[in-house]
Amino acid sequence: MAAPDDRVRDVLGAAPLTDAELRALLLDCLTLWAVQGRVSVDTDGEVTIAVPEGLFALARADEAMRPVRWFWQTPERRAAGRPPRAAPSIVAALSALRNAMGAEGGAMPRIGAG
């Protein structure tokens, strides 16, 4: 049975992000990380994140490459002719991009006494 929105679901039943959802997620992340930037999606689905430090990229991995799901690229790696790095999840890719941008994470809630 097809998903209600006709997107193919993965093994765990999660629907993949659309280009618009991915762009919105990245814009929210830039805001949370206090990074000024623009996010654009090309016709192949590759996302470009333009920030003062340069152009970062995020792209979906081909299904045949599972468990790799995402590839991310930094300006430094691109300039050195190095291939994009692989990430097993969107969370891992976002964390790697945040660290590569030198951005701060959001406030960390703490639970417990202290």
- Please count the CA atoms within 13 angstroms of the CA of 11 that sit on its side-chain side: 4
Residue 87 within any structural domain of the chain = yes
Establish if 78 belongs to a structural domain.
Answer: yes
Residue 13, domain member (yes or no) = no
Torsion 12-16-22-25 (CA) sign? negative
Decide if 85 is inside a domain.
yes
pTM of the model: 0.78
Answer yes or no: is 11 within a domain: no
pLDDT tier, 67 (very low <50, low <70, confident <90, very high otherwise): confident
pLDDT of 50 > 60? The answer is yes
Q: What is the mean pLDDT of residues 13-21?
A: 79
**Residue 28's closest CA among 39, 41, 42, 18?**
39
Query: 69 lies in a domain?
Result: yes
Q: Which domain holds residue 72?
A: 19-101
Question: Which residue type is seen at 97?
Answer: L
In a domain, 91, yes or no: yes
* First CA to last CA distance, the chain: 50
> What's the average model confidence in pLDDT over 39-61?
94
Average of per-residue pLDDT across 50-56:
96
**Amino acid 104: pLDDT:** 81
Number of domains comprising the chain: 1
Q: Does the pLDDT of residue 29 top 90, yes or no?
A: yes
- Strands 38-41, 47-51: pairing is antiparallel
Give domain status of residue 90, yes or no: yes
